[in-house]
Amino acid sequence: MTVRCTLQGDVEVIALDNPPLNSLGLDTRRELVAALEQAQADPDVAAIVLTGSGRAFSAGADLHEFGSPRAGQEPGLAGVIGTMERASKPVVAALHGLALGGGLELAMGCHYRIVAPGTRVALPEVKLGLLPGAGGTQRLPRAIGVGPALDLMVRGEQVAAEALVGIPEQKLFDQLARGADTVLDEAVALARSASRRHAAGAPLPRLRDLPCGHPQGDAYFQSARDAVRAANRNFPAPLQCVDAVESATREPFDVGLAHERERFVDLMRTPQSLALRHAFMAERSARKIPDVAPDTAQRTIAKVAVIGAGTMGGGIAMNFLNAGIPVVMLESSQQALDRGLATLRRNYEAQVGKGKLEPTRYAQRMALLTPTLGYADVADADLVIEAVFEDLGVKEQVFRQLDAVMKPGAILASNTSTLDLNTIAAFTRRPQDVVGMHFFSPANVMKLLEVVRGGGTGRDVLATVMAVGGRIGKICVVSGVCDGFIGNRMIEQYTRQAGFLIDEGCTPDQVDKAIEAFGFAMGPFRMGDLAGNDIGWAIRKRRAIEKPGVRFSKTADLLCAMGRFGQKTGAGWYDYAPGKRDAVPSRLVLDMIERHRAELGLTPRPIDDEEIVQRLVYALVNEAARILDEKIASRPSDIDMVYLAGYGFPLHRGGPLHYADGVGLSNVAKAMERFAQNPHDDAGFWQPAPLLRRLLAGHATFASLND
Ligand code: T1G
């Protein structure tokens, strides 16, 4: 049972009881209708209160049902709401915690609504590529006005109920309860008085009966359309919200409701909604480690140490300070420590200057920071994160020191991005406490955290690091140990293809523009100039020793040999005017590329944007399939999460593997066969990975491997 009924005197209290967040799946909808009908028929019941058990009134429609037959089975949520709205007895919603999407729509179908302070409400459907599909676009404008309603729908963000109570003449909330602990009792009292008013002949108030309009009419909606279109180029749902709200001002309620339903069904089928819903589920799946029980005991993390106060170390420290966790930051010299502190202060002061951080919060965070030069000061930390120079010898020194001083049970994490975590763990006598925490620069901004699981990493260590990663606002994805883990290993193949495209006839600008039109925030060459082309240079030099068979285009090395490391040297693949970041195609670089082609004996050929995008994206797909085959990643959606959260893969495409499923794996494989015929390309790389071959043979998709 997911709905519980109790009679309090002459008031029937119907409680949604579907943990964790009272989502409104088919069973709940059926039980709710049955409870409403029973209360309606019961002569001892004068009024009804609808409430939610646990921490939320309701988080809305059951996202796990989306796309399944259950989602479309009667009663639909709009039907449940209609049943409630047509009830002949007063129905009062008692809201606390969260009322989101269909949860808020359900409450709007009641006759009265009382809300506890601190309750947060939203119509977040646009974040799933949808619009409210159970009357929200028709009732909310009637309740709080067209402008506030449209703003809430198009942004999809949660707002405090108190903010909406403050809207003049709003009809969304009839009462602000004294507290979350009294909201139910107050709702019962409200229900009783409503039943008396109703018995005396007063009509039951229904939001659907209220007028709906906007004083500027067409002009308002036109400007709303222009603003929403400009802000949501890749997503159709927000614009649909504008249309639906406009129809609420023009059409009778039931007509507007029918149009809302049509729009909702259409949006459900869009690739954007499929991608957004996939990303929502992928983020939550990534928190689950197949062989680590969700109730695995975690170690307490009350104090963190960061070794290294450089760019990464400072950013890492900020994450924990921002979450209110004390940090001891250690450097090897006072000068380096002072430099690190100055950078950290500058970052915070910039946020204060932009009004993004209150000065008091800045001071609180700095008060949690203890700089030190001595390892003794880090010994009692529960988690220590090494973020020193990317050199195995330096890491060895640090980890031997940490092994000697850290208290038993401390977690020893390395931020390494290219070195073997198992080798690092072997520098200690406690490999079970060693784990990788691969942050992405800037570490206090980028959401992705690759949690690298060594051969000996303890399950409780993994569970603890995943939880603390969530506490500092990261999207954590577990990676096994391999060169480059998940993200960088795949980006290496993407970058190789970018170089080959240059050799074969493209310009850097053409490649960047093609993949940016696909949706990436920044193409590989603009990205190289931003991150520093010398980083890849160092990796290729190492690769040439470790894996001499891996061929790269020479153009990137030639570029670095010219000292063109990118924005930091004022020139890279592109030219940059002093102090500017605008990437200007460089004649010097184009001449270098042309000379290089001549040396290779390559006649440049025209390459269209489709081939550019396919070679870059399918390179990610094929390498991802190998990563899954090697069990470096647990599931395809984890890899999608890495690319969405860490590498700027366009959200409306859902990640490389979700995108490949949409293209059709047989089409991906056909393109790879073509690329394998290209004499300048890497035929071996373009052989479909074993997993891809198995999926093709079974006519299966990457999605079939997601849990
Ligand atoms: N349906 C099913 N499960 C849900 C759910 C939902 N709506 N919301 C959360 N969960 C699960 C989630 O998968 C996880 O389970 C657990 O609850 C904790 O969630 C008709 C059609 C509410 C802000 O978009 O934004 O109504 O994966 O880890 O970080 O117009 O969950 O661990 O097994 O995210 O504290 C509209 C979606 C639906 C809200 C809480 N509603 N949820 O965040 O916990 S569309 C939403 C959230 C709709 C109507 C339309 C967040 C949260 P598991 P969590 P959290």
Domain that holds residue 394: 304-479
Is the CB of 85 inside a 6 Å radius of any atom of ligand 1?
no
195 CA → ligand 1 middle, Å: 34
Are 258 and 321 within one domain?
A: no
Domain edge (last residue) among 479, 507, 542:
479
Tokens of 85: 């709205």
C-alpha to C-alpha distance for 462 and 465, rounded to whole angstroms: 5
Amino acid at 398: V
Strands 47-52, 98-100: pairing kind: unpaired
Is the CB of 61 inside a 6 Å radius of any atom of ligand 1?
yes
Spacing of C-alpha 203 from chain mean position: 45
Tokens of 495: 């970058």
Is the CB of 133 inside a 6 Å radius of any atom of ligand 1?
yes
Are 347 and 462 within one domain?
A: yes
Q: Which of 16, 18, 21 to mutate to test the pocket of ligand 1 (most atoms within 8 A of CB)?
A: 21
C-alpha to C-alpha distance for 224 and 147, rounded to whole angstroms: 9
Residue 674, domain CATH: 1.10.1040.50
Handedness of CA 348, 353, 355, 361 (dihedral sign): positive
Is 77:106 a contact under the CB 8 Å cutoff?
Answer: yes
463 CA → ligand 1 middle, Å: 22
Identify whether 284 is part of a domain: no
CA atoms within 13 A on the CB side of 472: 29
Are 238 and 326 within one domain?
A: no
Q: Which of 63, 273, 285 to mutate to test the pocket of ligand 1 (most atoms within 8 A of CB)?
A: 63
Are 412 and 507 within one domain?
A: no
Is the CB of 309 inside a 6 Å radius of any atom of ligand 1?
no
Is 441:502 a contact under the CB 8 Å cutoff?
Answer: no
Is 452:263 a contact under the CB 8 Å cutoff?
Answer: no
Write down the pTM of the prediction: 0.94
63 CA → ligand 1 middle, Å: 7
96 CA → ligand 1 middle, Å: 16
Number of domains the chain contains: 3
User: Hunting for tokens 């009134």 — which residue is that?
Assistant: 57
Sequential DSSP letters for 112-171: EEEE-TT-EEE-GGGGGT----SSHHHHHHHHH-HHHHHHHHHH---EEHHHHHTSTT--
Which member of 12, 31, 85, 125 is catalytic?
125
Are 326 and 181 within one domain?
A: no
292 CA → ligand 1 middle, Å: 22
123 CA → ligand 1 middle, Å: 12
Q: Which of 284, 289, 476 to mutate to test the pocket of ligand 1 (most atoms within 8 A of CB)?
A: 284
Is the CB of 100 inside a 6 Å radius of any atom of ligand 1?
yes
Is 666:606 a contact under the CB 8 Å cutoff?
Answer: no
Are 154 and 184 within one domain?
A: yes
Identify whether 297 is part of a domain: no
pLDDT at residue 681, as a whole number: 87
Block means of pLDDT (10 residues each) for the chain, length 707 residues? Answer: 96 97 97 97 97 97 89 91 95 98 98 98 98 98 97 97 91 95 97 95 96 93 96 95 97 97 96 97 96 96 97 96 98 96 95 95 96 97 96 96 97 95 97 97 95 98 98 98 95 95 97 97 94 88 81 93 93 93 95 96 95 98 98 98 96 97 97 93 93 96 95
Is the CB of 52 inside a 6 Å radius of any atom of ligand 1?
no
* Residue 437 exposed, middle or buried by CB count within 10 Å (0-12, 13-18, 19+): buried
Identify whether 278 is part of a domain: no
Annotation marks residue 105 as catalytic: yes
Is the CB of 62 inside a 6 Å radius of any atom of ligand 1?
yes
Is the CB of 126 inside a 6 Å radius of any atom of ligand 1?
no
Nearest CA to ligand 1 atom 37: 59
Which member of 12, 31, 85, 105 is catalytic?
105
578 CA → ligand 1 middle, Å: 48
pLDDT at residue 559, as a whole number: 96
556 CA → ligand 1 middle, Å: 45
Annotation marks residue 74 as catalytic: no
Question: Which segments of 263-326 are extended strands (E)?
Answer: 304-307
109: nearest Cα among 48, 164, 161, 157: 48
C-alpha to C-alpha distance for 429 and 567, rounded to whole angstroms: 43
Mention every residue, 6+ apart, whose C-beta is less than 8 A from residue 436. Answer: 413, 414, 415, 416, 421, 450, 451, 452, 453, 454, 479, 481, 485
Are 460 and 417 within one domain?
A: yes
Are 64 and 180 within one domain?
A: yes
Domain edge (last residue) among 461, 479, 497:
479
Identify whether 20 is part of a domain: yes
Identify whether 290 is part of a domain: no
Tokens of 450: 């690759």
Is the CB of 108 inside a 6 Å radius of any atom of ligand 1?
no
- Atom of ligand 1 minimally distant from the CA of 62: 1
pLDDT one-digit tens code per residue, 385-420: 999 998 999 999 999 999 999 999 999 999 999 899
Is 84:91 a contact under the CB 8 Å cutoff?
Answer: yes
- Atom of ligand 1 minimally distant from the CA of 78: 20
516 CA → ligand 1 middle, Å: 31
Tokens of 194: 């409503």
pLDDT at residue 137, as a whole number: 98
Identify whether 256 is part of a domain: yes
- Atom of ligand 1 minimally distant from the CA of 284: 27
- Atom of ligand 1 minimally distant from the CA of 133: 30
Are 58 and 86 within one domain?
A: yes
Supply angle C-alpha 182, 187, 192, rounded to 5: 130
Is the CB of 368 inside a 6 Å radius of any atom of ligand 1?
no
58 CA → ligand 1 middle, Å: 9
Is the CB of 98 inside a 6 Å radius of any atom of ligand 1?
yes
Is 514:606 a contact under the CB 8 Å cutoff?
Answer: no
pLDDT at residue 543, as a whole number: 78
Are 536 and 439 within one domain?
A: no
Domain edge (last residue) among 250, 268, 286:
268
Is the CB of 131 inside a 6 Å radius of any atom of ligand 1?
no
pLDDT at residue 181, as a whole number: 93
Residue 322, domain CATH: 3.40.50.720
Identify whether 365 is part of a domain: yes
Is the CB of 109 inside a 6 Å radius of any atom of ligand 1?
no
pLDDT one-digit tens code per residue, 527-553: 999 989 998 888 888 878 877 878 889
pLDDT at residue 310, as a whole number: 92
Identify whether 629 is part of a domain: yes
pLDDT at residue 409, as a whole number: 97
Are 604 and 637 within one domain?
A: yes
C-alpha to C-alpha distance for 319 and 443, rounded to whole angstroms: 8
Are 522 and 631 within one domain?
A: yes
